[in-house]
Structure 1
Amino acid sequence: MTEPIPISALQHAVYCLRQAALIHLERLWEENRFTAEGDVLHAVADKGGRRWNKGARRVMAVPVGSRRLNLTGVADLVEYLKGEGTQETPFPVEYKRGKPKHHRADEVQLCAQALCLEEMTGAAVPAGALFYAQTKRRVIVPMDRDLRGLTEETVMSLAGILESLQTPPPTDRKSRCRACSLKPLCRPEIAGRSVSAWRSRFLKTALAADDT
């Protein structure tokens, strides 16, 4: 078995598999305003601690993992909701900068935490929440069949890439490149271009320069 996959890598994988490989396979990283804001937001959650609130036990910075999925990570917050008797239902909460997104990267990251908590505690995790700093509101996320399937599919896709040691080509969704801090390192406009195509273009440019 390979090293456990960081749960945070799944968010990158949903957004762009190449981005995930550049970070977690090639160990490349580039800070921008968005990543810096995220670091500040998580600095509070990463301090840890626990307290009671409205009958729920709240624990910050909870280490989670799954042997079945080969995952490891830290949940920003887990609220253990009271059930019947001594039974508690884990309710993971992930802190995010900005506002809800059009893709499901944040939801997959949260679902991975839920799957880990289910394996660790033996209790079902039917839902969790994403807290966005810009809106200052929670978005409740049901852990339904579609999200669980997408999460496990993402885990398998990323695991295959990490085992193959091959970085995939850039995403076809070019609009995602604009906000990506790795764009200068990724260089999606030339990545995957064949050597012969590059040589032909170079020679054409050189000949044009000689004619002037």
Structure 2
Amino acid sequence: MAEASIHLSYLRLRRLIGICGLALPIFGSIVIGDILPSISHYYYSNANVLFVGILSILGVFLISYKGYDQEEEWISDNLATTIGGIAILLVVIIPGKYVWTDFPTAWNYSVNCPTFYCTDEDSIFRVIHFVSAGIFFLAMSWLSIFNFTKSSNTKSNKVYIFCGIGMIVILLLTILVEFILDLNTSKYFIFIVECIMLLLFAVSWLVKGKALRGGINS
């Protein structure tokens, strides 16, 4: 009975982690009634509480998650989720750059920082923010590809691999387009790729939590 209860608790935690990944861009956009150039911009908006709250909850959930911790694994469940949890908390603690011209003119934003702390355009903290977000998605990709696939369910394993590889490919594509080639992309390019990666992250965890049909025997 105790073992069954623990198993159900893990399923709930996995589902909550997946739901957190989906919640931020959806509810953030609903609260402010607009889409911003990136999810990080919501830190400086009326959805600040949602941005900080949801990502903080996600970080705590990941750090508190205790999966299989086998000695023969190079990166165990525990290590991957702890790295991901710490990384996403850094994303919250160190916000992205504040460029007031990126916000809707109706908001009447100015060069004056609207929150407790703002990251300047050329600040090293802007780099830390981006790197932390990248580490989060890399940790979640590793978990999805190499740890979740210990499942005996072939269909679920295909979903995990697809989601994990998808996050890595999109992350590398974003780095190439935005930082190496410096292409003139759509204003919402970063927001779109962030939403896709969060969707892949959420699907992987929801399947693992048996919230989706593909994860019945995961």
| Structure with the larger strand share | 1
Under a length normalisation based on structure 2, what TM-score does the superposition of the two structures give? 0.29
TM-score by length of 1: 0.30
Name the structure, 1 or 2, with higher relative contact order (CA <8 Å, separation 6+).
2
Question: Which protein shows a greater Rg?
Answer: 1
